[in-house]
Each structure stands twice: as C-alpha cells, then as structure tokens.
Amino acid sequence: MPAAGRGIRLGPGAPKALRALSGTPMLVHAVRAMARSRAVSLVVVVAPPDGADEVRRLLDEHTGPAETSTDIVVVPGGETRQDSVRLGLAALPDDVDSVLVHDAARPLVPVETVDAVAAAVREGAPAVVPALPVSDTVKEVQVRGNGEAEPVTGTPERSRLRAVQTPQGFELKVLAAAHAQVVREGDGATDDAGMVERLGVEVVVVPGHDEAFKVTRPLDLVLAEAVLARRRA
Ligand code: CTP
Ligand code: MG
C-alpha cells in the first residue's frame, strides 16, 4: 500500500495518508478496507520516509489484533510512487506469489472490488486493474501550461476509455520484472499496470467502483466524509 506521498494537491497539512477522514486517518480506513478481504493475508504499508514510526504507532492503535488478524508491516517509502511500490515489494516474504497494489489515497474501496481483482489474478490473469467508464469527454492537447490556451490535437472515443483505480493485482514475478525494467531504463510510468504493459504482458480490466475514488483534491475529502456518513446511517 503506497502511502508515502505528500498530498500536494490536497493543500498544506500532514502527509495525505495521515489526514483524518471523519476522525480516523485515511491510511487506517485504507488498511481496514484491504484487511476486510479474505484474499489479503498481509498488508505492507509504505509510509512517508520520515513517518514510518508514527504510522506504525497509528496502526497499532487503530488496527490491533481485536480488529483484524491480517499482518501489517510498515516500511519507509521513496521519492516517487514507483520507488515506494518497489520498496514495498522488497518487503514481501519469499513465499508470496500474487500481490495487490492499493493506494492509501483510495480509503473507501469496497471489499467486493478487492475480491474481484484478487479472484481474477487467482484465476490466472497476470495483471488486473479495476476501472470505470469515463463520464467526461477527454481531449488530447498540445501542453502549454501556465493557464495558456492549449490547442486540441484529438478526441479519443469515450466509449473505449476507462478510468483506472486500485487495487491493481499482479502475479508478483510479473510486477517485479516490470519494476526492474523501469529502473534499468530509468523512465517513469503513472501506474503499475502501465509498466507491465510495456513488458508486453496482457493487462485486463474488471469493473471498478465509484467508492474506490482517489482522494486527491479538497473536494474529495467532502465526498469521502459523505460516503462514510451514509455508511454509518
Ligand atoms: N505515493 C507514495 N510515494 C510517493 C508518492 C505517492 O507512496 N513518493 C502514494 C500516495 O501516498 C498515494 C498514492 O501513491 O497513496 C497515489 O498518489 P497520489 O494520489 O498522487 O498521492 P500524493 O502523491 O500524496 O499526492 P500529490 O500528487 O497531490 O502530492
Ligand atoms: Mg502524486
């Protein structure tokens, strides 16, 4: 579970994974969400590099043995998400053969989504991503930035587009090979499945869920707290 990001787009404050959602750190919600799946036997939390001790303390406090029997390991993360995932993979025991990579920033993922991804991997798919159809039309542009007008270069057909979520599921040796290749070639990728695609390995999409949305901007916190309030009602 990569949880080492700063959360720049969320605005000033603690690292994103440690911010409270209805009084409980986002990371705690995310760990509970994964631990709820019977497919998950171990959660490796990749903490902010200077915050591993605090994360360990928080998890001991909120996810003690009374609450979950899932093992939780905490390791310090890296500069980029990709580095953090690689550091998390390095902490897995030798007997693990499949892995789910889940953003701490998607704290409300329903257990059905976790189970669906895990089941597809168990049934033999080397790489599985949950995703939803996109609701906005998407344009490709010539990037200018600085608020300048950007010329449109194309409009991909919306019905063929999917917005990808996590957990993404992999045969561990496939994901490890993808990370090793990216380190060798020294260029980035925005998600784990994208790195696996470059290896020429087939990636399949299974249905995602609205509640697996990523908390990225301040408005997402409002949505997340509303979802939690509805669940408690
Ligand atoms: N992540 C990580 N290590 C990093 C950067 C990101 O483990 N060096 C994790 C985040 O903690 C998050 C997930 O990757 O759970 C998805 O990243 P994102 O939503 O971009 O989170 P941040 O990078 O924290 O946010 P921002 O990009 O706004 O700073
Ligand atoms: Mg980021």
pLDDT digits over 153-180, tens only? Answer: 999 999 999 999 999 999 999 999 999 9
- Residue ranges covered by each domain of the chain: 8-232
pLDDT digits over 7-58, tens only? Answer: 999 999 999 999 999 999 999 999 999 999 999 999 999 999 999 999 999 9
Under the banding of pLDDT at 50, 70 and 90, the label for residue 185 is confident
194 lines ligand 1 (CB under 6 A): no
Distance 103 CA to ligand 1 centre (A): 8
Q: Tell me the ligand closest to 101's alpha carbon.
A: 1
**CA–CA separation, 48 vs 67, rounded Å?**
24
pLDDT for 99? 98
pLDDT digits over 88-115, tens only? Answer: 999 999 999 999 999 999 999 999 999 9
174 lines ligand 1 (CB under 6 A): no
Q: pLDDT at residue 66 above 70?
A: no
Distance 71 CA to ligand 1 centre (A): 23
**Alpha-carbon distances, residue 30 vs 40, 94, 186 (angstroms):** 13, 25, 30
Q: pLDDT at residue 203 above 90?
A: yes
Q: pLDDT at residue 135 above 80?
A: yes
104 lines ligand 1 (CB under 6 A): yes
79 lines ligand 1 (CB under 6 A): yes
Question: What's the Rg (C-alpha) of the chain?
Answer: 18
Alpha helix segments (H runs only) across 63-146: 81-90, 111-122
Is residue 108 within 8 A of residue 31, CB to CB? The reply is no
Cβ neighbours around 31 below 10 Å, total: 29
ipTM over 0.85: yes
How much of the chain, in percent, has pLDDT values that exceed 70? 97
pLDDT for 60? 93
Under the banding of pLDDT at 50, 70 and 90, the label for residue 197 is very high
Question: By alpha-carbon position, which residue is closest to atom 13 of ligand 1?
Answer: 103
Distance 7 CA to ligand 2 centre (A): 7
Which residues lie closer than 8 Å to 156 by C-beta, 6 or more apart? 138, 140
In CATH, which of 3.40.1390.30, 3.30.365.10, 3.40.50.2000, 3.90.550.10 is domain 8-232? 3.90.550.10
